[in-house]
Amino acid sequence: MRSGTQFCPGCGESLIPSAVAPEHRVASVSRTRFIEHWGELKRVGWLFGLLLATSFVFGIAWRSAHSPWLSVIASAVDAAIVLVAAGLRYRKLLFLFQLRPSGLRDSVVLIAIAFLFVALATAYFWVIEWLGVPMSSATAAYTRAGWPLWSMLLLISAMPAVFEELAFRGVIQSTLERVLNARDAWLIQAALFSVLHLSPLMFPSHFLMGLCFGYMRRRSRSIYPGMLLHACWNALVVLQELPA
Amino acid sequence: MDKTWEVDEANTVKAHFGAFGKKIVAVNGAEVHNSRKMGPKGEIAFSLPDGRSAALSLRKQFIGAPGIDLKVDGNLVVETGKKPIKCAACDTVAKPYDRFCGKCGKPMPTAEDYENRKNVKAATGAIKVLAVVFVIAGIAFFFITKGAADTALVKLEGADPATTYPTPIGGQTYTVGALRKQLAWEPWGVLIVNLIIASIMVALALWGRRSPLPAVLIATATYAVVIAYAAIGDPATLGQGLLMKIIIIAFLIRGIKAALALRTAGA
């Protein structure tokens, strides 16, 4: 035995009675846990991949025809994908759909986050505009086709808010929390949310959005506050773009 | 390629795999295999002096020389590296075959853990490569796009900014003024977008040292999105550098698996 040895290098057993017992007795590589976690990550990968595929096909189609009907189809396909993904994990996501009375402190924090988010996002887009970066309009195709305001609010504001929250703060964040710690899951869902918007210039602003909505979901243990803020922000963008 | 494995205090296996296929395996200095051929199942099987069965096998890599694994009684053996192995908790030098630290009793990493760490390192390496690629691509495309934009701007000289440009571009109709603005922005847009992605990759590579799993996950998603984004702009880009794209994604996915294995093993 080598000098200074207090534990058996083969089995970890204490060799001298006074030695403090080691914290981890056995290096048990849990194969079952790995398979389970890998399965969870694959589920997130599938959902993200399908949403990316829809955006890709929609983006290609958008090049040849700027029709709002394309947005309708893309939104419907995305909604179906998200509903199936959420439906498969319905029991595990059930807690997110419950309305709980939140305390005064939590309410103040959620409202403060909402204001902070609106201020930061507005500042970001103001800087982008000030730099002269040409921005694509979300409502141009609808106004050109003569679609009414309510259709824009439904397709640009409400539907993305409901289904994106369900996908990212619902399925993805909850699934990742089972594999990683809450902080990592929060950061990853925000990153996935930002990159899936397929606009590198929007990565920072949408990452911020993902962080805010994710924090609201963590704080309130419900996706409704995030959905509400998301829908309000989208509605603000729509109303700001429309001519007076 | 020379490799050494200290199986235990009494047994050491040495392997020499020559560049022209010569394979020599020695146990405690005595040759047990000297041939160009591998055995059945692509393994070199032999026995240790104490009767335990051992097998050397080649593990194919995406890039570079294949890895060599030694299994004794079906268990992977930690390779004896150039640097001494130290306990992560108390920094005591340990032997490759130690399963626990002799001083503090903490479990030592297994051969699988070392393999997983190598794969995670390869994945974070791929993220660094991507960062460099995006910086270079950003600068190169800036000059290419600027040249093309300048030529187009010369053609638009003298045209009334309020008039509509006759040919739709990307399915969209522009006024001459808006088109000029778009053309002036184009090279800067390409540069900024590439630099944003490069800085994301740098940040992820740095974060990957502390938290490899989330960093590699985000890098994989970002890279997939960048490929899709470029393909929406020009579908031909999907096939450009396809082999490189596949290799990078394979490295990243293997990195995710390895980081997850290390996380679940608590190593």
Measured CA to CA in angstroms, residue A58 lies from A45, A52, A71, A72, B8 at distances of 20, 10, 8, 10, 60
State the CB neighbour count (10 A cutoff) for residue B195.
Answer: 16
| Tokens standing for residue B157 | 């000289």
Q: How far apart are CA A164 and CA A197, in angstroms?
A: 11
Amino acid at A6: Q
Task: Measure CB to CB from residue B112 to each of A29, A33, A203 and give the nearest one.
Answer: A29
Residue B125 and residue B107 share a domain: no
- Residue entry with tokens 């050109």: A144
Domain ends where: B55, B77, B111? B111
Distance from CA of A220 to the nearest CA of B (A): 24
Q: Which domain holds residue A188?
A: 46-241
Is A30 inside any structural domain? Answer: no
Q: Do B103 and A23 touch (CB under 8 A)?
A: no
Residue B151 and residue B187 share a domain: yes
Q: How far apart are CA B130 and CA B133, in angstroms?
A: 5
Chain B residues lying within 8 Å of A47, measured CB to CB: none
Q: Which domain holds residue B215?
A: 115-265
- Residue entry with tokens 């930002």: A194
Measured CA to CA in angstroms, residue A36 lies from A30, A33, A179 at distances of 10, 5, 9
Distance from CA of A67 to the nearest CA of B (A): 11
Residue B200 and residue B93 share a domain: no
% of chain B residues with pLDDT over 90: 19
The sign of the CA dihedral A203, A206, A212, A215 is: negative
Measured CA to CA in angstroms, residue B16 lies from B8, B48, B108, B118, B129 at distances of 20, 17, 27, 21, 31
Quick: pLDDT tens for A186-227: 999 999 999 999 888 888 899 999 999 999 999 888 999 999
Residue B151 and residue B235 share a domain: yes
Confidence of residue A22 (pLDDT cuts 50, 70, 90): very low
Task: Measure CB to CB from residue A22 to each of B97, B105, B110 and give the nearest one.
Answer: B105
ipTM: 0.84
Chain B residues lying within 8 Å of A11, measured CB to CB: 99-100
% of chain A residues with pLDDT over 70: 87
Residue B260 and residue B184 share a domain: yes
Compare A244 and B126 and report the one with higher pLDDT. B126
Q: How far apart are CA A119 and CA B253, in angstroms?
A: 38
Residue B103 and residue B55 share a domain: yes
Compare A6 and B141 and report the one with higher pLDDT. B141
Is A10 inside any structural domain? Answer: no
Residue B227 and residue B96 share a domain: no
Residue B185 and residue B81 share a domain: no
Residue pair B204/B127 in contact by the 8 Å Cβ criterion = yes
* DSSP, residue by residue, chain A: --TT--B-TTT--BSSTTSPPPS-------HHHHHHHHHHHHHHHHHHHHHHHHHHHHHHHHHH---HHHHHHHHHHHHHHHHHHHHHTHHHHGGGG---PPPHHHHHHHHHHHHHHHHHHHHHHHHHHHTT-----SSHHHHHTT--HHHHIIIIIIHHHHHHIIIIIIIIHHHHHHHS-HHHHHHHHHHHHHHTT--GGGHHHHHHHHHHHHHHHHHHSSSHHHHHHHHHHHHHHHHHHS--
Q: How far apart are CA A188 and CA B134, in angstroms?
A: 22
Q: Do B214 and A188 touch (CB under 8 A)?
A: yes
Count Cβ–Cβ pairs < 8 Å, chain A vs chain B.
146
Confidence of residue B106 (pLDDT cuts 50, 70, 90): confident
The model's pTM is 0.81
Interface of A with B in 68-127 (CB under 8 A): none
**What pLDDT is stored for residue A21 in this prediction?**
45
Q: Do B196 and A201 touch (CB under 8 A)?
A: yes
Q: How far apart are CA B259 and CA B263, in angstroms?
A: 6
Residue B135 and residue B105 share a domain: no
Number of domains chain A contains? 1
Q: What is the CATH number of the domain that holds B13?
A: 2.40.128.180
Quick: pLDDT tens for B128-187: 999 999 999 999 989 998 998 888 888 878 777 778 777 777 666 778 888 888 888 888
Residue B156 and residue B42 share a domain: no
Give yes or no for A34 touching B (CB within 8 A).
yes
Ranges A62-66, A145-149, B256-260: which has the least confidence = A62-66
Number of domains chain B contains? 2
Q: How far apart are CA B152 and CA B176, in angstroms?
A: 11
Residue B252 and residue B120 share a domain: yes
Quick: pLDDT tens for B192-230: 889 999 999 999 999 998 889 999 999 999 999 999 998
Q: Which helix (H) or strand (E) holds B54?
A: strand B53-59
pLDDT surpassing 70 at residue A150: yes
Chain A residues lying within 8 Å of B225, measured CB to CB: 52, 195-196, 198
Quick: pLDDT tens for B61-98: 766 677 788 888 888 888 887 787 888 888 888 877 88
**What pLDDT is stored for residue B266 in this prediction?**
67
Residue B243 and residue B221 share a domain: yes
Amino acid at B198: A
* Four-point Cα dihedral A165, A170, A176, A182, nearest 10: 80
